[in-house]
Homo-oligomer: A and B are copies of this chain.
Amino acid sequence: MEGDGVLRIGELSKRTGVSPELLRAWERRYGLLQPLRSSGGLRLYSPADVERVGVMRGHLADGLAAAEAAALALRADVGAAPPPVALAPEAVRLELADALDRFDEPRAQALLDRVLAAVTVDTLLSEIVLPYLSELGDRWERGEASVAQEHFASSIIRGRLLGLARGWGQGLGPTAVLACLPGEQHDLGLIAFGLALRARGWRIVYLGADSPVETVEEISARHEPDLVVLSATSDDLVAPLLPELRALARRHRLALAGGAAANADLERAGVLALPDDPVAEADRVVALLQDAGGE
């Protein structure tokens, strides 16, 4: 036979019924074929290439356009084994962003349903929701997202996360009390942190946005939690409360999350700073308190 089946373009053309020009166009435009080259630069095709051109022609006959037909022909042998069932996080994030940008709640919800069926809460948070939120924040700062979009998106995501949170107060694990400082309305990060802790077996008592320190005090007194977490985006909310917070820190293991987490005064008073990604911080907290021993 033809050696081990090395074809030049004319022969490939004859066997497949596709003109050489077109074969080159398909190569250039869709990367359909990636022939070896002879020393003189001639294209050298393998029998697999004949096959692939055949698949391409089949899809064309089915009515598909060239670009799509080529994409499928390529996928046919690359992905033969691993059908990419896994949803690529970036793709999901983009689609989520698109749906929310257009104020299309049903689509956003359907998307989240699909994702949740495939993925842990941790992954949902750290790969999709949290990156999306920080991206949205950036776009908002650059003036590319409107207040309306930001508002709409967070209200839907809040609803969704609270749905996942149902029953997080139940169980036997260590307990955390979670609250936003007075004046702080951004609770999404805190909810995410609660969910991450919950996934690690903790019990959550959640007070929500804009919680008076007195409230936190009262609830903590009753629950004797293993950790009290307060969240604030700006140090301005923390400063006027320093005395109360120090007092609280004397009675309970206290942590500060969000943008204002790194507060030297409080760290000196033994308050744990949780400035980063809620999921990562949840891991850190679990590790720390595990070492510290229970009770």
Contacts and interface: CB of A to CB of B under 8 A. Distances in A.
B212 A290 contact: no
Interface string A63-74: 111011001101
A83 interface: yes
A280 interface: no
A162 B163 CA distance: 7
B103 A222 contact: yes
A55 interface: no
A78 B104 CA distance: 13
Contacts of A10: 63
Contact of A84 (B7, B31, B164): B164
A116 B199 CA distance: 17
Interface in A178-205: 185, 195, 198-203, 205
A129 to B, nearest CB: 14
A155 interface: yes
Interface stretch (A106-114, A236-244, A248-256): A106-114
Interface string A1-27: 101111110110011000000000000
Contacts of A268: none
Contact of A113 (B3, B31, B79, B85): B79
B121 A117 contact: no
Given A170-B200, A173-B201, A121 B162 contact: no
Interface in A27-82: 31, 34, 38, 44, 63-65, 67-68, 71-72, 74-75, 78-82
A264 interface: no
Contacts of A106: 74, 78, 80, 167, 169-170
A263 interface: no
A88 interface: yes
A208 B162 contact: no
A208 B80 contact: no
A167 B115 CA distance: 11
Interface of A: 1, 3-8, 10-11, 14-15, 31, 34, 38, 44, 63-65, 67-68, 71-72, 74-75, 78-89, 91-92, 95, 103-107, 109-111, 113-114, 116-123, 127, 146-148, 151-152, 154-155, 158-160, 162-174, 185, 195, 198-203, 205-212, 214-216, 218-219, 222-223, 286, 290
Given A4-B72, A167-B199, A171-B173, 13 more contacts: A11-B65, A15-B63, A68-B172, A79-B167, A80-B167, A83-B171, A83-B199, A85-B120, A85-B121, A88-B118, A109-B170, A148-B215, A172-B201
Closest 4 CB pairs of A and B: A171-B201, A105-B169, A80-B167, A172-B201
